Amino acid sequence: MSGIIFFLALPITQFKNFQFFGFLFAFVSFIAAILFLLKFRRFQKGEEGEIVVNKILKSLYKYYLANHVHTPGYGDIDHLLIRKNGIFIIETKNYNGNVEVNVDEWYVNGTKIKSPSIQIKKTAAKLKEILGINIWLNCLIVPIIDGKLNVKNPTVDIVKLNKLVHFIYKKRSSIPKEELLSFKDKIRQLQSSEDKITLKGLFNSWWFVNY
């Protein structure tokens, strides 16, 4: 009751100030909501792309697959695939329009963006550091776009979605089976270590088929 009396006793100028700040708060809230929806849509689109790639990877013959592997300070590895012909770190990227890649520089509709090539190489190096290993990791980016893809002298493998399975099958590796299985075990041992590497996200699952 005392709060109501205080409000009614305010000068008209202060009441106008309340109106102004109320309008300002509503405007800021509206802008924040729009930004959140845009960010959520980008996140949702990214998740949709990862689901498609995940289904394709699960169609492979003999594999070990982990999704959404977290490396502190370097983001998530969308997919980590272990097969007898190598270890693959796979990133899915969704873009609207035309994409051009020149060495490590990426452009979407003519605008330069943060380089997924540099990011995936840093992530692979961090993963090797965490696990204390020195074996070859295949860095692979799968761009899902609705425009044209133009690639020149890339420093990592960039593969279209419809060629992903063929690309993985044709890869050759000299890594002994014992080292591959050791790598898999190290990943699993660190799975629950929050300060090193964890599984999280939509899939939160491991698949080990006939290795």
pLDDT band at 115 (very low <50, low <70, confident <90, very high): very high
Residue 69 to residue 80: CA distance in whole angstroms: 7
Contacts of 35 (CB under 8 A, 6+ apart): none
Flag whether pLDDT at 18 surpasses 80. no
Confidence of residue 159 (pLDDT cuts 50, 70, 90): very high
* pLDDT number for residue 184: 87
pLDDT band at residue 198, thresholds of 50, 70 and 90? very low
- Across the range 185-201, mean pLDDT stands at 56
Residues 64-98 have pLDDT tens digits of 888 888 787 777 899 999 998 999 999 999 999 99
- Render the burial of 12-40: b for 16+ CB within 10 Å, e for the rest: eeeeeeeeeeeeeeeeeeeeeeeeeeeee
Give 182 or 16, the one with higher predicted confidence.
182
Highest mean pLDDT among 30-34, 54-58, 112-116: 112-116
Alpha-carbon distance 194 to 70, whole Å? 9
The tens digit of pLDDT for each residue in 127-144 reads 999 888 899 999 999 999
pLDDT of residue 22: 54
The helix/strand count (H/E) of the chain reads as 5, 12
Question: What pLDDT is recorded for position 174?
Answer: 84
